[in-house]
Every structure is written in C-alpha cells, then in structure tokens.
Amino acid sequence: MAWRKKTKRALTYNLARFFIAFFNIIPRPLAVGIGSMMGYLAYLISHRDRFKAQRNLAAAMGDSLNTKQQKVIVRNMFVNFGKNIADIVRFKRHYDRQISRLVDVEGLEYFDRAYRRGKGVIAVTGHIGNFELLAAFTVKSGYNAAVIGREMYDRRLNELLVGNREAIGIVNIDTKDSPRRILKLLKKGYTLGILIDTDSYRVRSAFVPAFGRLSWTPVGQSIIGLKTGAAFIPIVCVRNGNRYKVIVKPEITIERTNDFDSDVHKMTEKCTASLEAIIREWPDQWIWLHNRWHTRPETPIN
C-alpha cells in the first residue's frame, strides 16, 4: 500500500540522516568498526542476497574457487560495503584532515599524462571498492571531475548523496541530463567517471565478453569518448587493509577504422576486459549481488 511505502521511505531517510550524523562525531576506527559489524550482520540475515552473490561469483569464476572460498569472498564483500559506507558519509567533514592520508596511489602517471592533453578523460571504473572515494580523491588531487549516476528512488536520499559529492567539488550528472552537458565538460578537460559494469535497460548497451560470457554493457561512454578524443583510463579505488589503494592502469587505445560502430564495440570490449582483470584480482570488493548476465543474447559466447 502507498502509506506503507511512504512510511518505509521516511524511516530509511531518517535512519540515513542519523547514521551520517553519528558516524561524523565518533572516531574513524569506531565508525569503520560499526560499519564492519553492520556489513557482517547483513551477510548473516540476508539469505537471499547471500545466495545470489555466491551464485553470481561461481558463474563468473567457475572452478577456480571452491565453495569455502566463495563464501569467504561474499562475506568479505558485505563487510567491505559496511566499512566503505562509514568513510563515505564522513567525506564532508573529514576527508582533508583524515581520509586523504589513508590513500595510496599506483600508476597516477598514466592518468596525469592523459589529463594534461586537455581533451578530457573517461575514467573507466565500476562498482568495485570505494568508488565514491575515487571521485573524491580525483577532485582533491587537483583534477576537475564529474560523475554520472542514476537518481535514487527517494528524492531525499538522492539529495543526501549528491550533496555529499558536491560538497567536495564533484560535479554530479544525472543519467537523465542532456548529453550536451557531458560533451561540454569533456571539452573543458574534465574527467568523467562512469560505472560500466552493470546490466541496465536504461542506457544504450551492447553485448561484450565479461567473465567468459556475453554481457549487456553500456556503450555511451565509448561513443562520447571516441567522438571527442577523450582518453580512456581504467581506474579503481580498492580497500587495502585499513587503507585505500587507487589503481590506475595504462590508457586503453584501439586502432580506429571507418566503421564507427565497430570501434565503439571494440573500445567497450577492451574497457570491460581491463575492469574484469581488476575484479579478478580483488574479488571481495565487487558487487556480486548484481546479476551481470540478466539480459541474455540469442547465442552464447564460444
């Protein structure tokens, strides 16, 4: 019923506001500890989500992991979610003084070289590690950056999320915004963070290989990047113990042809492969809750 949905959303919003305020007044170790416990509790009680995550993990990794290893990865995924949220809600007040000191970087020269060309950068990333922190790190390191994100189901929760981003200088772009806004930012040399690792009917997509299966993958970033001459740089921010590690990979390039659609497909395929390699290295930090293969092609990959 409508009143039940309204009541549930109001409760969720007020709980979110409470935890944001609470996590910002307690010491970080305590906040992260509570986040860890909340993540573990979610793992214990969310039987359906736990099963779904392990099923997707098994489908992706095949025989490379036994059942015990799968369970450990899924459990750690839930725990990492909780820890990451504890830091995300502390960005506004504590990033400069505290969180920034916990970030190590590998391969920043690849990003810096591409950014200095002034034609914009497509930050090829996904729902791995603390992707909200990745955006914060980029801006706080002196780079202009924008992120594309789908509006949340509740307007008030969406305002909390967007406000948290904008407070540290990130430009937020809704998926419903005009592509012209994106083009203008790239022409100004901005970095555009795009999550390319989900199966969605809301955005233009195509089937490319991911974990040995054809996967419905967004192609808008490839279209825009190839048209503007922006650089494609794989970049993630993973949790590394009590610290974070921003990992930047070399620029992804393709040999351009006279077939633009083919070029778009090839770029999307290479970007997806690069992100997959990172996920395989850090499997307990990706969203195995998401069914990457919900949309199925007519013919399977060979």
- pLDDT tens digit sequence for 232-252: 999 999 999 999 999 999 999
User: Which pLDDT tens digit goes with each residue over 39-54?
Assistant: 999 999 999 999 999 9
- pLDDT confidence of 10, banded at 50, 70, 90? confident
The Cα–Cα gap between 81 and 204 comes to 28
What pLDDT does residue 3 have?
Answer: 65
The Cα–Cα gap between 205 and 203 comes to 6
Taking residues 23-47, what's their average pLDDT? 94
Taking residues 220-224, what's their average pLDDT? 94
User: Which pLDDT tens digit goes with each residue over 111-159?
Assistant: 999 999 999 999 999 999 999 899 999 999 999 999 887 766 667 776 7
Indicate the domain borders of the chain: 2-285
What pLDDT does residue 38 have?
Answer: 94
pTM across the whole model:
0.90
What pLDDT does residue 5 have?
Answer: 66
Nearest to 167 by CA among 20, 10, 27: 20
Of 7-21, 32-46, 56-70, 260-274, the least confident: 7-21
What is the biggest distance separating any 2 CA atoms in the chain, rounded to whole angstroms?
58
Provide long-range contacts, Cβ within 8 A and 24+ apart, for 225-230: 225/120, 225/122, 225/186, 225/267, 226/256, 226/260, 226/263, 226/264, 226/267, 228/119, 228/120, 228/183, 228/186, 228/187, 229/119, 229/120, 230/119, 230/120, 230/121, 230/122, 230/186, 230/192
